[in-house]
């Protein structure tokens, strides 16, 4: 019976000779699945949400999470700096302190990658309410500090207003976010 059905469909042009009906359905199902997969991937877009789209935290909730991020960052900076310091301490005690270039290099190597990570993670928390405008200024000041540190490595270890992150430090400290700058 099946052979007769295929023979009839083949003679009227519905199926190529010898092709079974379930084979054609299989091709259609595969094409449909491929189309659905293509549309699904095309519709994904970026996995990063804009800060405005994220759930809004209160200032207290944000500070708690941000402080944890910054404490982890400080530990990462120490993990890079402490072995360097231990290695060079004997030279320093022997009257051979590291050069400015060496100090700039370690300050940049230890802190900049961490500050970039902190900035990404702090942005991912979203914008708090209340305090949105100040928090945005803190994030912008952190970005400016990163850019300055990349352009002028010595700014990573300067003091006062010449420190790459001086503005970010001042804004975040006044906001209540203190752990990002104490190492």
- Taking the CA atoms of residue 158, residue 164, residue 165 and residue 168 in that order, the dihedral angle to the nearest 10 degrees is 130
Q: Which residue has the higher pLDDT, 56 or 149?
A: 149
Q: What contacts 176, CB < 8 A, 6 or more positions away? A: 59, 63
pLDDT in tens, 54-63: 567 899 999 9
Tokens of 124: 């991912």
Cβ atoms within 10 A of the Cβ of 138, count? 25
pLDDT for 13: 44
Segment of 13-27, 44-58, 147-161 carrying the highest mean pLDDT: 147-161
Cβ atoms within 10 A of the Cβ of 76, count? 16
pLDDT for 93: 83
pLDDT for 53: 53
Q: Which residue has the higher pLDDT, 39 or 122?
A: 122
Q: Which residue has the higher pLDDT, 167 or 4?
A: 167
CA 181 – CA 183 distance, rounded (Å): 6
Q: In this structure, are residues 156 and 104 in contact, taking their beta carbons and an 8 Å threshold?
A: yes
Instruction: Please state the φ and ψ torsions of residue 164, each to the nearest 5 degrees.
Output: -55, -35
Residue ranges covered by each domain of the chain: 2-42, 53-175
pTM higher than the cut 0.85: no
pLDDT in tens, 74-105: 999 999 999 998 888 888 888 888 889 998 99
In terms of Cβ atoms closer than 10 Å to its own Cβ (0-12, 13-18, 19+), residue 92 is exposed
């Amino acid at each position: 019976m099946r052979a007769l059905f295929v023979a009839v469909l083949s003679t009227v042009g519905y199926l190529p000779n010898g092709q079974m009906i379930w084979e054609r359905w299989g091709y259609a199902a595969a094409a449909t699945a491929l189309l659905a997969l293509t549309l699904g991937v095309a519709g994904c877009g970026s996995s990063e949400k804009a800060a405005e789209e994220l759930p809004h935290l209160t200032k207290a909730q944000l500070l708690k999470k941000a402080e944890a991020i910054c404490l982890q960052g400080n530990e990462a900076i120490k993990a890079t700096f402490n072995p360097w310091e231990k290695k060079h301490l004997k030279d320093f005690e022997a009257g051979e302190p590291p050069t400015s270039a060496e100090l700039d290099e370690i300050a940049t190597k230890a802190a900049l990658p961490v500050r970039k990570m902190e900035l990404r993670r702090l942005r991912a928390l979203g914008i708090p309410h209340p305090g949105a405008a100040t928090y945005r200024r803190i994030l912008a000041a952190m970005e400016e500090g990163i850019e300055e540190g990349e352009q002028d490595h010595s700014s990573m270890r300067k003091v006062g207003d010449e420190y790459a992150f001086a503005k970010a430090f001042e804004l975040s400290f006044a906001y209540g976010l203190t752990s990002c700058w104490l190492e």
